[in-house]
């Protein structure tokens, strides 16, 4: 039997989702608990990878086991997990459904705050910038829409079968104080490091360090920025995963920045 687990996690204490040698990962933390609880070795197949320090307010993985998982097991499993990982739903699915391969769309949010705040240091990225040109950043983000080759914005392009992605949303928001900025990006797939590389370059556009033309030229020529830098990880959230056979609401508790501000979309005339 195949079960989909709908979870959220705060990534500050982990080296990302994927299990690795000599590093604490979300996958390993969950597999240890499930293996102990279900009295068998459990391997979780995740919907994708997240970098060290990156969060997920909606994440899915699946496991295959012979025994039925009873509904009452939901609460003891959550008690055994670390406080920064939570299970929201456990759903039995058809064996052909795959946590990674069956996903049709992924949405990420990136949060920036511009004044130091100790309560936001691990859930939002601090950039000491008072005059970001967010409209110019939105203009650059509009170049990303559609099916394009994002080879220039990937850490390891040769490890992918191809580097084309279909970006369906790339929208900046600002709160009413002007001190908080959010970037939401949605697409069918994303490459390794792609969103953080894009975010760094978009911030450079907003700081007038690079022009819109330079940003677009990187995309069209497939030539990476020099140097190739990534935005801070703590501002990034995997926010939503879409499947044709499953619809469950993401948790705002694991992405509090979404609900504590009144966000206004940046429009280009």
Active site residues: 51
What phi, psi does 67 have (nearest 5°)?
-90, 150
Q: Beta-strand (E) ranges in the chain? A: 2-9, 45-46, 55-64, 85-93, 105-113, 125-126, 146-149, 164-175, 180-187, 236-242, 263-265
Residue 245 CA to residue 253 CA, distance in Å, equals: 25
**Residues with Cβ within 8 Å of residue 13, at least 6 apart in sequence:** 24, 82, 84
Burial class (CB in 10 A: 0-12, 13-18, 19+), 52: middle
């Amino acid at each position: 039997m195949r079960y989909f687990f709908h979870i959220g996690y705060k990534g500050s204490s982990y080296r990302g989702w994927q299990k690795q040698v000599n590093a604490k990962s979300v996958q390993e933390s969950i597999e240890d608990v499930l293996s102990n609880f279900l009295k068998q070795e459990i391997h979780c197949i995740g919907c994708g990878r997240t970098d060290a320090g990156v969060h997920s307010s909606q994440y899915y993985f699946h496991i295959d086991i012979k025994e039925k998982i009873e509904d009452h097991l939901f609460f003891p499993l959550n008690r055994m997990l670390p406080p920064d990982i939570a299970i929201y739903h456990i759903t039995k699915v058809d064996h052909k459904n795959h946590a990674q391969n069956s996903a049709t769309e992924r949405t990420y949010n990136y949060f920036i705050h511009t004044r130091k705040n100790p309560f936001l240091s691990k859930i939002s990225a601090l950039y000491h910038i008072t005059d970001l040109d967010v409209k110019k950043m939105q203009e650059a983000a509009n170049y990303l829409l559609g099916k394009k080759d994002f080879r220039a914005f990937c850490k390891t392009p040769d490890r992918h079968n191809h580097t084309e992605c279909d970006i369906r949303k790339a929208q900046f928001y600002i709160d009413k104080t002007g001190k908080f900025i959010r970037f939401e990006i949605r697409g069918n797939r994303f490459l390794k490091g792609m969103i953080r590389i894009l975010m760094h370059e978009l911030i450079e556009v907003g700081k007038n360090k690079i022009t819109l033309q330079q940003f677009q030229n990187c995309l069209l020529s497939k030539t990476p920025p020099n140097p190739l830098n990534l935005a801070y990880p703590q501002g990034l959230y995997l926010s939503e995963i879409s499947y044709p056979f499953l619809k469950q609401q993401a948790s705002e508790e694991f992405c509090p920045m979404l609900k504590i501000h009144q966000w206004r979309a940046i429009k280009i005339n």
